[in-house]
Structure 1
Amino acid sequence: MRILVLANTPAHVHLYRHAVDRLERAGHDVLVLTREYACTTDLLDYFGIPYRVYGRHETDGYSRLGFVRELGGQFLTIGTEALRFDPDVVFGRGPYAAYAGTFSRAPVVLVLDDEPGDFNHTVSRPFADCIISPAVTRRDLGDAHYTFDGFKECAYLHPEVFEPAGDVREYLDVDPDEPYVIVRFNALDALHDTDLEGFRPEQRRELIERLGEAATVFVSDEGDDLDLRDLPARPYDLHPALIHDAMAEAELLVADTGTMATEAALLGTPAFRYRGTDDHEYGEFRALERAGLAEQFDAYDAVRDRSLEIIADDGASDRWERRRREYVGSLVNLTDLLVAVAESRGSIARLEGEAKRALRPRSHSL
């Protein structure tokens, strides 16, 4: 079989990387189409995943109009590559995957989460043969929509899949018992981030200063515009492939972005997300809050004070790890499911065993 995967962001690489590896080892031919955006191609290189670049994602002065302009030349390349590869099934999301599958006449499998924007869903839904999303998402995308108990991050952070590196503290240059915190600032340059605002500059600085009084602070600044020279913090500068190992060892993750907060929570690390101006209610976060693994805050003072409180709580790490074992261990291993769906050529009717039991028609579960 030939499986084509559209991986447009670092999160997409992590979503599919274990499935790609297993499919290749099973003798299938897998190709990833990607774009130059953030560290996406760095991750593909690190994990040894075969790929071809179809374009770049420009972030300076980004707008919805800019997004539409990007699509023209990129669609031409995607169509050419899809025809040349001649896939049996296409995985991805949004207009990229829909176009690749339609142009190559291959079944399209969309793997979605609870992102706020309607554009991707509206454009791609009519072309999808199968739509898979976590059961906690609240959309009903029609008869082809199936849900599973878990999160898209369960493809790489499920306890059956995630294997922590034992030397990440050495790479970070922190002692075995030294508490450290990771602070993540979002660039807010994706389509669904348009017009959103997270931590303000003065809030970023104060947060780092206060956290630095209690723990070593590593800052992951997606926009790369924060000067740390006079702040008690270090830039997080390990290879991006090691971020989950670093989060798993951290005492706390504070962020104004969704993906890393979800990842930290699934790893059993207290995950605090500052919503800023984002008023979208994410089904994933509501589930993680109920499980006691993540917390969201509408006010900056609240997330700052709660962060300082949890760092001073000697029992927090054990509580979060216990919650992780109880909750995350019961979720679906999404890599197993993706492999099964790929080998069924996107046909849910052909699934058997655990894979068939893991998926439920969305319209029947509302």
Structure 2
Amino acid sequence: MKRIAIFVNTPAQLHFYRNIAKRLEQKGNQVNMLFRDYGETLRLAQEFGFNPLIFSKQRPTSLQKMIFFPVDIMRSVRIFRGQNPDVVTGFGIDSVYASAFAGSKSIVFSDSEPRSHRLLHFQYDLFKPLTDVIITPSSFLDDLGSKHIRVNSYKELAYLHPNCFQPSNDIFDLLGISRNEDFAILRFNAFDAVHDLQVSGFNSEQKVKLVETLDRHAHVFVSAEGSVPKRIEKNVLKIPKRRIHDLLYYAKLFVTDTQTMATEAAILGTPTIRSNNFVDEKREMGNFLELEKKYGLLFSICDRNRAISLAEELIKYDGLKKEWTRRREVLLKDKIDISSFMTWFIENYPESCKEIKSDSKIQFKFR
């Protein structure tokens, strides 16, 4: 039995670790999940049956996040109450520094590349010397050195691989539409994370234009962090947050200025348009390039007005969803079940690390 601590900062990180945590517990390990009180994360954790241990509160500015970082780390160590974990895992700096103070092994999973933002690059510089291993998708373009392990999957397949996720079409009943009616989902980001500094997406005028353009061809539903313009408040979703992936699966089109949900929709076989300032040839991340260039599931467009025009073009195409379903099947044949892989890797660390480094093909038994 291992004592394992998992750090969760966002809903996306919760989704990544929720199946891993449950599988580790089922195998007899002691698992504690430490949460940042951020946005919808705690409510979502409770919906999935977790008892959140809070190590950090939401900070309104990047400066405050940096100032309170040492406080958050020491609170984490106090939560361990002298029973320090054997392994601490998370998406980066919080989990790594907590593991260092606790004398635990550190396993980082990340799909955010240093190239994408200078603050991310700075964070990697701060935690890379202290972690034991960094696991990334194989599409990850940056080289993180001798501690770096690439696996042929995406973060989002930890909860959206067919081994973990089966969609339920009762989502149409929650939306109040029939099963043969088309609908589009729009997701707007708040851009308040540290790595979101100087990054933007759709402005208020463009949000209204996008909704009204697509509304001529299909039902339009909006998911947003924070408020939306009054003219589109009637389009805001009113369904449980945990049902968002059923929604993405059955949508005819997904348009967003977020990162994670763009990948989620694409690997679920839904035509996806991603438009924000992260779209840049010099700093674009490998997972988005692969989803667009290799699998044809995603469009990344920096210009928001061009994105709106493409959205209208796609929503009018009758065979759209069928073609994307075919493309998704190609992707799933290539990729592994990252949830199963991570469960094995964490439970058997450090032997698992030695095995995968000596023979990377071991990962393909986790289909």
TM-score with structure 1 length normalisation?
A: 0.92
Per the alignment, in what secondary structure is the counterpart of residue 128 of structure 2?
helix
Q: 1:313 aligns with which of 314, 317, 334?
A: 317
Distance 2:353 2:254 in 1: 41
| Contact persistence 2:266–2:298 (CA under 8 A) | yes
Separation in structure 2 between the aligned mates of residue 352 and residue 225 of structure 1, nearest angstrom: 45
2-structure distance, mates of 1:305, 1:323: 23
Shift of 1:66: 2.1
TM-aligned CA deviation for residue 211 of structure 1 = 0.9
Aligned pair 1:324/2:322, yes or no? no
Q: Cα distance 1:100–1:37, how it changes in 2: closer, same or farther (>3 A)? A: same
Task: After superposition, give the CA deviation of every residue in 1:152-199 in whole Å (9 maximum; x if it has no partner).
Answer: 111111122212123111112221111111111110001110111211
The total of aligned residue pairs comes to 354
Q: What are the residue-to-residue correspondences of 1:1-366 with 2, within 5 Å?
A: 1-59=2-60, 62-63=61-62, 65-115=63-113, 116=116, 117-222=120-225, 224-228=226-230, 230-231=231-232, 233-276=234-277, 278-279=279-280, 280-290=283-293, 291-349=295-353, 351=355, 357-358=361-362
Could you give the per-residue CA deviations for residues 123-152 of structure 1, whole angstroms, max 9, x where no partner exists? Answer: 111111111001111111121110011211
Q: What's the offset of the Cα at 1:87?
A: 1.0
Shift of 1:347: 4.1
Gaps of 5+ in 2: none
The alignment-based identity, stated in percent, is 32
Deviations 1:42-99 (A, max 9, x none): 121111124300121223xx23x22211213212201212353421111112221111
SS at match of 1:166: coil
The residue type equivalent to 1:250 in the other structure is A
Letter in 1 for 2:329: R
Structure-2 separation of matches of 1:232 and 1:241: 21
What is the match of residue 364 of structure 1?
none
Give the letter aligned to residue 269 of structure 2. Answer: G
Structure with more relative contact order (C-alpha pairs < 8 Å, separation 6 or more): 1
Which residue number in structure 2 is paired with residue 363 of structure 1? none
Q: Is the 1:93–1:124 contact (alpha carbons within 8 Å) kept by the matching residues of 2?
A: no
In the aligned structure 1, how far is the partner of 2:234 from the partner of 2:336? 37
Q: Secondary structure at the match of 1:118?
A: helix
Could you tell me the TM-score, scaled by structure 2's length?
0.91
**What is the alpha-carbon distance in structure 1 between the residues aligned to residue 259 and residue 332 of structure 2?**
18
Q: For residues 85 and 167 of structure 1, do their structure 2 counterparts lie closer, same or farther at Cα, with a shift above 3 Å needed?
A: farther
Distance 1:159 1:52, change over 3 A: same
Q: Residue type of the partner of 1:108?
A: S
User: Structure 1 residues 127 and 83, CA, compared in 2 at 3 Å: closer, same or farther?
Assistant: farther
Deviation at 1:237, TM superposition (A): 2.5
Structure 1 gap segments, 5+ residues each: 361-366
Q: Please tell me the residue identity of whatever aligns with 1:305.
A: S
Question: Relative to 1, partners in 2 of residues 1:29 and 1:135: Cα closer, same or farther, differing over 3 Å?
Answer: same
CA contact (8 A) 2:204 2:229 kept: no
For residues 37 and 183 of structure 1, what CA distance do their matches in structure 2 show?
21
Cα distance in 2 for residues equivalent to 1:237 and 1:91? 33
> CA offsets, 1:90-115, max 9 Å, x none?
11122211112111211100001134
